[in-house]
């Protein structure tokens, strides 16, 4: 086939093979004896017998594809083996012997001679070496070395592959290699339901591209996040102080202040609130570690405050009696030392400065003192940690100034206790102080219990103070009668606040800041006579154990939302309360069991968008008067007149001096 002449066009094949109908008609005419174009006969009276005309045989005529043997040979005579395009070598030759080059399908072939040749060399408008010769001839190309244009399908395949191999501008990878690696991994591993995990396989292939290349000389130690978390929580699962320590005595186990966090988590889980079981158990072990390290009398899991970088796990504890006095004494010693040092500095400055500038008559408002430990906002002590297993950090006591400033700002926590609080009005302290102030505010508004569970002591019950504001302690009622779950849900009067309300002053109990001690009164008698400011009016808040039904609404929004944990099985449901004032505060109660928890960002709900407070008005200027008012500049005429008057006065004064001198001389004579 490589050396075969070019095939004739479609009309040549039709003439070569002939029409089927014409062949059948010729056969019928031969049988009837009729004359044809290639035969002779005597049936026609007007025609003479014509001898048979046989077309000249073309020695170069191509064998028909339907002719099984060459003319002149027997039908079943063996023929020369025909060379195939797929035959690598000729028969009888060594397969590795160099052979003659085979003709290409795209090379120019010799012109075919015969009656069905579409053209003859030398005829036509173009000669072999003229431009345009053979452009429309089949099997001819003017450039033998030129690669023919690919077919449309092959071109589409090349374009698609080129698009898939286009590299990404971000990662530098291409989709073609990525798909090839994915398919290679799937065929190597042959996972079950590969179509369901193809996304994970894609992620693994991408992750392998950016994985660090390990050096054969020195391996880089890399700690996985799961291993790091396990190392942090490893200390929580150790008994005692060391590995495999001795078991705790039975007395400590019975009298331990450790709360049952898992039971509380079980009840809150029914209400759809809480953390995961793993995290709850880790917090349980972290509280156990805290109880073993601090002299704690009572302990409770207060909640979790979310932060931008890290979160805070908060524990509410109360020290044993006498344990906290040592810390307060140390704080007082530090404060007194600071005061003495400041007094010494003031004396030295007074001695050095003889001429002091005038002092300002402005007096800052008196500082409201903080409440003592175990009272008011500092009744409990709070420890925080970022994650279970990390060390617990004790928060400092809160001051009224910090609570008042915390009400005016709204900041997200970062998770770092030493982070500064940048705000206006400025907050006096860092994030640890701000966190402690928010905990005090949330506890005062969301710590609730069923009505009658707590009661006032007998000593406090006999004392009748104004509105019961002086009552700050309570005790558990041994004769408490349980309230049904439906009653707790239907009426908010069956719930009470068991934490004191915080006044606008920043304290739970009001105090007169302008009231001074005896020494201060003696020193400042003269100043008080000059200016006696008006005494502030005392504040009175709601008393302790006030029902929730008396809480104020927020623009027609109830402060609390009560519901059952489930409506499908109400006989086994629990009562759940959600605070609308502090989103994230929840409470539950069933029988004699109840608890409170907070899980949120530590922000109070505000119906309007938060807007920072405006700065104070600018201080007025000094009052203007004639003694300080500047005069207009004199004109040129006025300056000249003033100058002339001064010269005349000077001349007159000189004359007077001369006259006096002459008179003195005459007297001497």
For 604-645, what is each residue's pLDDT tens digit?
998 888 888 888 888 887 777 777 777 788 899 999 999 999
Q: How confident is the model at residue 658 (pLDDT cuts 50, 70, 90)?
A: confident
Cα distances from 50 to residues 29, 33, 589, 652, in angstroms, run 16, 13, 129, 174
Please check the confidence at residue 668 and state whether its pLDDT lies above 60.
yes
Give me the DSSP letters along 56-108.
PPPTTPPPPTT--S-TTS-TTS--PPPPPTT--S-TTS-TTS--PPPPPTTSP
107 against 544, higher pLDDT: 544
pLDDT confidence of residue 442: 96
**Per-domain boundaries in the chain:** 1-146, 154-165+175-202, 261-335+379-511+540-600
What residue ranges in 169-321 does DSSP mark as E strands?
Answer: 296-305, 312-319
441 against 660, higher pLDDT: 441
For 358-389, what is each residue's pLDDT tens digit?
777 878 888 889 999 989 999 999 999 999 98
pLDDT confidence of residue 229: 78
pLDDT confidence of residue 540: 86
560 against 252, higher pLDDT: 560
Q: What is the mean pLDDT of residues 276-299?
A: 93
- Reduce the DSSP state of residue 137 to 3 states and report it: coil
pLDDT confidence of residue 428: 94
**579 is written with which tokens?**
């605070």
Please tell me the distance from the alpha carbon of residue 357 to that of residue 352, in angstroms, as a whole number.
13
Tokens 């400011």 belong to residue: 533
Q: How confident is the model at residue 446 (pLDDT cuts 50, 70, 90)?
A: very high
**Residue 507: DSSP 8-state:** S
pLDDT confidence of residue 365: 81
Q: How confident is the model at residue 51 (pLDDT cuts 50, 70, 90)?
A: very low
Please check the confidence at residue 343 and state whether its pLDDT lies above 70.
no
Q: How confident is the model at residue 150 (pLDDT cuts 50, 70, 90)?
A: low
Nearest to 589 by CA among 550, 560, 568, 559: 560
Q: How confident is the model at residue 299 (pLDDT cuts 50, 70, 90)?
A: very high
Kindly report the average pLDDT of the chain as a whole number.
76
Out of 69-78, 168-177, 182-191, 267-276, which region has the weakest mean confidence (pLDDT)?
Answer: 69-78
Please check the confidence at residue 396 and state whether its pLDDT lies above 90.
yes
Phi, psi (degrees; rounded to nearest 5) at 114: 145, 175
pLDDT confidence of residue 12: 46
Out of 232-236, 437-441, 476-480, which region has the weakest mean confidence (pLDDT)?
Answer: 232-236
Four-residue CA torsion sign, 328, 330, 333, 339: negative
Out of 66-80, 347-361, 433-447, which region has the weakest mean confidence (pLDDT)?
Answer: 66-80
Please check the confidence at residue 162 and state whether its pLDDT lies above 50.
yes
Per DSSP bridges, beta strands 560-564 and 575-579 are: antiparallel
Give me the DSSP letters along 279-341.
HHHHHHHHHHHHHHHS-EEEEEEEEEE--SS--EEEEEEEEPTTTSHHHHHHHHHHHHHHHHH
Contact 485, 564 (CB under 8 A): yes
Please check the confidence at residue 602 and state whether its pLDDT lies above 90.
yes
pLDDT confidence of residue 85: 44
Q: How confident is the model at residue 598 (pLDDT cuts 50, 70, 90)?
A: very high
Contact 349, 398 (CB under 8 A): no
Q: How confident is the model at residue 21 (pLDDT cuts 50, 70, 90)?
A: low
Q: Give the count of alpha carbons within 13 A of 9, CB side only.
A: 7
**405 is written with which tokens?**
């400033």
pLDDT confidence of residue 355: 61
Q: What is the mean pLDDT of residues 520-545?
A: 67
- What's the pTM? 0.59
Out of 236-240, 330-334, 401-405, 425-429, which region has the weakest mean confidence (pLDDT)?
Answer: 330-334
pLDDT confidence of residue 513: 82
Please check the confidence at residue 193 and state whether its pLDDT lies above 50.
yes
Please tell me the distance from the alpha carbon of residue 507 to that of residue 408, in angstroms, as a whole number.
16
Give me the DSSP letters along 431-464.
HHHHHHHHHHHHHHHH-EEETTSEE--HHHHH--
Q: What is the mean pLDDT of residues 175-202?
A: 92
Nearest to 118 by CA among 20, 16, 17, 19: 16
pLDDT confidence of residue 364: 81
Q: How confident is the model at residue 94 (pLDDT cuts 50, 70, 90)?
A: low
Question: Most confidently modeled of 19-28, 506-515, 568-577?
Answer: 568-577
Peptide bond into 425 cis (omega under 30): yes
pLDDT confidence of residue 302: 96
Q: How confident is the model at residue 250 (pLDDT cuts 50, 70, 90)?
A: low
Give me the DSSP letters along 526-564.
HHHHH--PPPPPPP--PPSS-BGGGSPPSSS--SEEEEE
**Residue 515: DSSP 8-state:** -
Q: Is 106 exposed, middle or buried (0-12, 13-18, 19+ CB in 10 A)?
A: middle
468 against 23, higher pLDDT: 23
Q: What is the mean pLDDT of residues 497-516?
A: 88
Dihedral angle computed from the Cα positions of residues 138, 139, 143 and 147, in that order, rounded to the nearest 10 degrees: 110
pLDDT confidence of residue 358: 72
Q: What is the mean pLDDT of residues 95-106?
A: 48
Please tell me the distance from the alpha carbon of residue 283 to that of residue 637, in angstroms, as a whole number.
93
Please check the confidence at residue 132 and state whether its pLDDT lies above 70.
no
pLDDT confidence of residue 39: 42
């Amino acid at each position: 086939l490589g050396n075969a002449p070019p095939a004739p066009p479609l009309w040549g094949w039709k003439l070569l093979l002939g029409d089927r109908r014409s062949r059948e008609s010729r056969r019928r005419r031969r049988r009837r004896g009729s004359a044809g174009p290639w035969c002779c006969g005597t049936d026609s009276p007007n025609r003479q017998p014509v001898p048979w005309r046989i077309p000249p045989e073309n020695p170069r005529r191509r064998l028909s594809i339907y002719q099984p043997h060459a003319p002149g040979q027997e039908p079943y005579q063996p023929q020369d083996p025909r060379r195939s395009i797929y035959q690598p070598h000729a028969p009888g030759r060594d397969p590795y012997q160099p052979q003659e080059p085979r003709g290409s399908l795209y090379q120019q072939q010799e012109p075919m001679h015969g009656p069905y040749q579409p053209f003859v060399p030398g005829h036509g408008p173009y000669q072999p070496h003229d431009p345009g010769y053979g452009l429309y001839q089949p099997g001819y190309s003017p450039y033998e070395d030129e690669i023919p244009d690919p077919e449309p399908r092959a071109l589409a395949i090349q374009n698609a592959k080129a698009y898939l191999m286009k590299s990404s501008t971000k990662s530098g990878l291409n989709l073609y290699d990525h798909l090839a690696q994915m398919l290679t991994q799937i065929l190597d591993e042959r996972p079950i339901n590969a179509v369901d995990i193809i996304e994970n396989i894609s992620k693994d292939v991408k992750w392998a591209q950016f994985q660090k290349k390990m050096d054969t000389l020195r391996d880089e130690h890399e700690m996985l996040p799961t291993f790091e978390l396990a190392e942090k929580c490893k200390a929580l699962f150790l008994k005692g102080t060391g590995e495999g320590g001795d078991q705790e005595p039975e007395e400590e186990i019975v009298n331990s202040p450790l709360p049952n966090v898992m039971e509380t988590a079980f009840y809150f889980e029914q209400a759809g609130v809480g953390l995961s079981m793993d995290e709850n158990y880790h917090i349980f072990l972290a509280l156990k570690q805290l109880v073993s390290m601090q002299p704690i009398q009572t302990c409770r899991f207060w909640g979790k405050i979310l932060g931008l970088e890290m979160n805070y796990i908060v524990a509410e504890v109360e020290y044993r009696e006498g344990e906290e006095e040592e810390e307060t004494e140390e704080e007082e010693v530090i404060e007194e030392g600071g005061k003495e040092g400041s007094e010494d500095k003031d004396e030295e400055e007074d001695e050095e400065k003889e001429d002091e500038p005038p002092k300002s008559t402005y007096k800052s408002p008196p500082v409201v003192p903080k409440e003592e430990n175990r009272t008011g906002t500092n009744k409990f002590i709070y420890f925080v940690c970022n994650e279970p297993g990390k060390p617990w950090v004790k928060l400092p006591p809160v001051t009224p100034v910090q609570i008042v400033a915390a009400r005016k700002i709204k900041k997200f926590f970062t998770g770092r206790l030493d982070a500064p609080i940048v705000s206006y009005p400025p907050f006096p302290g860092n994030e640890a102080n701000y966190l402690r102030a928010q905990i005090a505010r949330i506890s005062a508004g969301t710590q609730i219990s069923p009505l009658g569970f707590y009661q006032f002591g007998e000593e406090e019950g006999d004392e009748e103070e104004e509105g019961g504001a002086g009552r700050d302690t309570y005790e558990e009622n041994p004769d408490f009668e349980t309230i049904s779950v439906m009653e707790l849900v239907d009426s908010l009067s069956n719930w009470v606040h068991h934490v004191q309300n915080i006044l606008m002053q920043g304290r739970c109990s009001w105090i007169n800041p302008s009231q001074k001690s005896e020494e201060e009164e003696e020193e400042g008698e003269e100043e008080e006579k000059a200016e006696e400011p008006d005494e502030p009016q005392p504040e009175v808040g709601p008393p302790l154990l006030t029902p929730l039904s008396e809480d104020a609404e927020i623009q027609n929004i109830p402060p609390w939302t009560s519901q059952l944990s489930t409506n499908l099985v109400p006989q086994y449901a629990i009562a759940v309360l959600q605070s609308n004032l502090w989103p994230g505060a929840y409470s539950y109660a069933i029988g004699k069991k109840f608890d409170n928890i907070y899980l949120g960002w530590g922000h109070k709900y505000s119906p309007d968008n938060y807007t920072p407070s405006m700065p104070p008005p600018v201080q007025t200027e000094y009052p203007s008067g004639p003694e300080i008012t500047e005069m207009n500049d004199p004109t040129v005429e006025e300056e000249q007149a003033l100058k002339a008057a001064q010269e005349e006065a000077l001349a007159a004064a000189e004359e007077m001096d001369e006259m006096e001198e002459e008179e003195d001389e005459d007297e001497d004579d």
